[in-house]
């Protein structure tokens, strides 16, 4: 049921840096490896509604209804801009001695969930992506789509955790440089802000 094309395509899709990757990396860099795992789990969980919508065909509504798409799109853009403002405001306020205490793991995961839930492009992407790998001779196409979705999510979680671990590894090299830390925080804040603006200005 699984083929090489699906696995390679999924790997490329997961590896390409997006909002989820950037959020996980920034969390691992500034909050620690435990927080990066929470971020990875949250971003992965945020994919579930889009996968279910694609499997059930509900994402077609977003594709047909411009109002529904625009509403979710602007909500997602506003949230990314809010994250950018929050990160910019906290510049220089992070303490590397106890990163996990500054923000609860649940809150970090929730942010990851919201980042992906509020991205309507994901539903349309999976609506076009999953059916490509459902075999004609499949006894149960629905079951195969669930299997493909589970594999995709497992790959997402694994790759995101690796991204977070890498960020945590780099973290030790910037921990003693407040200027570098502040610069990185501002850089991530600008990236989130630009992603929010890009999402707001893109067409369905």
For 39-60, the pLDDT digits (tens) are 999 999 998 888 887 777 655 6
Number of domains in the chain: 1
Whether the Cβ atoms of residue 54 and residue 127 lie closer than 8 Å to each other: yes
d(CA 194, CA 54): 27
CA gyration radius, the chain: 18
pTM as predicted = 0.71
Residue 51 covered by a domain: yes
Q: Is residue 39 part of a domain?
A: yes
For residue 24, the model assigns a pLDDT of 92
Residue 9 lies in a domain: no
pLDDT at residue 88, as a whole number? 75
- Helix H segments across the chain? 4-15, 19-31, 33-45, 48-56, 59-64, 66-89, 99-102, 105-117, 120-129, 141-171, 178-201
- Is residue 1 in some structural domain? no
Q: Is residue 11 part of a domain?
A: no
Q: Which pLDDT does position 200 carry in this prediction?
A: 74
Question: With a cut of 50, which residues of the chain have pLDDT below it?
Answer: 93-101
């Amino acid at each position: 049921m699984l083929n090489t094309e699906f696995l390679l395509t999924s790997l490329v899709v997961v590896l390409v840096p997006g909002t989820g990757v950037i959020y996980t990396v920034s969390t691992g860099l500034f909050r620690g490896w435990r927080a990066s795992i929470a971020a990875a789990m949250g971003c992965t969980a945020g994919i579930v509604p889009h996968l279910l919508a694609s499997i059930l065909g509900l994402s077609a509504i977003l594709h047909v209804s411009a109002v529904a798409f625009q509403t979710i799109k602007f909500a997602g853009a506003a949230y990314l801009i809010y994250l950018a403002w929050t990160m910019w405001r906290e510049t220089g306020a992070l303490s590397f001695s106890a990163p996990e205490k500054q923000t609860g793991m649940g809150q970090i995961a929730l942010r990851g969930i919201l980042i992906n839930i509020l991205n309507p492009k994901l539903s349309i992407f999976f609506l076009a992506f999953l059916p490509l790998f459902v075999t004609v001779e499949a006894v149960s196409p629905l079951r195969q789509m669930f299997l493909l979705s589970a594999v995709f999510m497992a790959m997402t979680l694994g790759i995101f955790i690796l991204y977070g671990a890498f960020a945590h590894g780099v973290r030790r090299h910037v921990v003693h440089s407040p200027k570098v830390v502040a610069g990185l925080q501002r850089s991530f804040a600008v990236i989130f802000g630009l992603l929010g603006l890009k999402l707001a200005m893109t067409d369905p």
